[in-house]
Amino acid sequence: MVNRRVFIERGLKYTIASGLLFSGLPGCHGTEALKEKEVSPPEDLMQEHGVLNRVLLIYDCCRDNLLHDHFVNHEILQSGANIIRNFIENYHEKQEEDYLFPRFERANQLTDLVQTLRKQHTAGRLITDHILQLTKAKQLTAPENQRLIALLGNFNTMYRPHEAREDTVLFPAFRQLVSKNEYDSLGEEFENNERNLFGEDGFKSAVEKVAGLEKALGIYELDKFTPM
């Protein structure tokens, strides 16, 4: 049987060739088909982890500034927390809780891991509640600042191993847990859910929002993280 990825790649090559041959004909737009390139459920979730990781860097930066008594724009922190709330907790984690976790539980596989992941989702949402509440104010008292520093640290300390364990253990195991047809249909369902919640460019919009916050903090340029 031809590997699904090989099949897709061959189809893309054919699409490109067709586009080159017929792009000059009326009504022919061969390259537009490339926009519909298929993304598997774990690939989709791992891309969303990239959004989460970039917000964790924003949290790192703000926490470091708070620790050194530097000015922190609470609107930036609140915007980051809103991305976590809307795109990660209410969408990404909901996908995991609705589509992945129950399948592992029914199959009695990785149940201890799933239980811990669920517990951490709940803990993360509680932390986000507190961050959103604290960042409503333009200025905080010294105890409130210390509370915010602790919340940002606790969130990042939990979510870095959380997402790493999902990427390296849960998501690879999921591919073996479901049939090919179910796997493919879930990919389509994930895309439909994202489109229904955020429109056509939900992921792209989330990335652009994160990039805007990074630029405001001066951490957008990737080379800033290169050791000198």
- Torsion (CA) 61, 78, 94, 165 in degrees, nearest 10: 10
Whole-number pLDDT of residue 23: 44
What residues of the chain score a pLDDT lower than 50?
1-8, 12, 14-36
Amino acid code (one letter) for 51: V
- Torsion (CA) 21, 22, 24, 25 in degrees, nearest 10: 150
How far apart are the C-alpha atoms of 50 and 154, rounded to whole Å?
A: 19
How far apart are the C-alpha atoms of 105 and 98, rounded to whole Å?
A: 12
Whole-number pLDDT of residue 41: 86
Q: What is the pLDDT of residues 64-111, one digit of tens each?
A: 999 999 999 999 999 999 999 999 999 999 999 999 999 999 999 999
Q: What is the pLDDT of residues 98-109, one digit of tens each?
A: 999 999 999 999
